[in-house]
Amino acid sequence: MSIGHTLLALLESGPRHGYDLKRAFDERFGQDRPLHYGQVYSTMSRLLRNGLVEVDAVETGGGPERKRYAITDAGITDVSQWLAHPEKPEPYLQSTLCTKLVLALLTGRDAAELLATQRAEHLRLMGALTERKRHGDLADQLVCDHALFHLEVDLRWLELAAARLDRLAAAVHDEH
């Protein structure tokens, strides 16, 4: 996820302080990985330096200065271009799970147990996401659906790998 583009898009609804941007980000996208304040302010400094935001106001008071940021026309254009550009599909050709499976076979470990343990972890996470989906807003439900569909595909792969385990073990040992 592009943190910079996300913060820029959040600014399109109006100027905000860094604290407000962090809160808005975390409410919409940060349930699993909230932003750190330092990340917000370093990103805003970069966006300011690149002319994508400007300081709309500076408030002074009992503490440090509080800058309120506003998106510029260049920032709006940048967000529009980012949103219009398709994301590269991730084919997962080098997944850690595939590597672990081959290494388990190469080292004589129990590859079937590895697959069974991974399947149980996928099912556990699917249950947690399904529960989260029940209580989430529409955006969170969509995020959960995205993750659930990917996990379902992973489960299909785990079942296929388990069904082919004997042939895979023979192929790995023949190459070795």
Q: Is 139 left (phi over 0), alpha (psi -120 to 50) or beta?
A: alpha
Residue 20 confidence (pLDDT): 94
Compute the half-sphere exposure of residue 170: CA atoms within 13 Å on the CB side of its CA: 3
What is the pLDDT at residue 59? 84
- What is the model's pLDDT at position 176? 61
- Supply the pLDDT for residue 30: 80
Q: What is the pLDDT of residues 114-136, one digit of tens each?
A: 999 999 999 999 999 999 999 98
Q: What angle do CA 155, 100, 164 make, to 5 degrees?
A: 55
- Per DSSP, the residues of 80-113 read HHHHHSPPPP---TT-HHHHHHHHHHHTT--HHH
pLDDT value for 62? 73
pTM confidence score:
0.69
**Tens digit of pLDDT per residue, the chain (176 long)?**
689 999 999 999 999 999 999 999 998 888 778 899 999 999 999 999 999 999 999 888 777 778 999 999 999 999 999 999 988 877 776 678 888 998 898 888 899 999 999 999 999 999 999 999 999 889 889 999 999 999 999 999 999 999 999 998 888 877 66
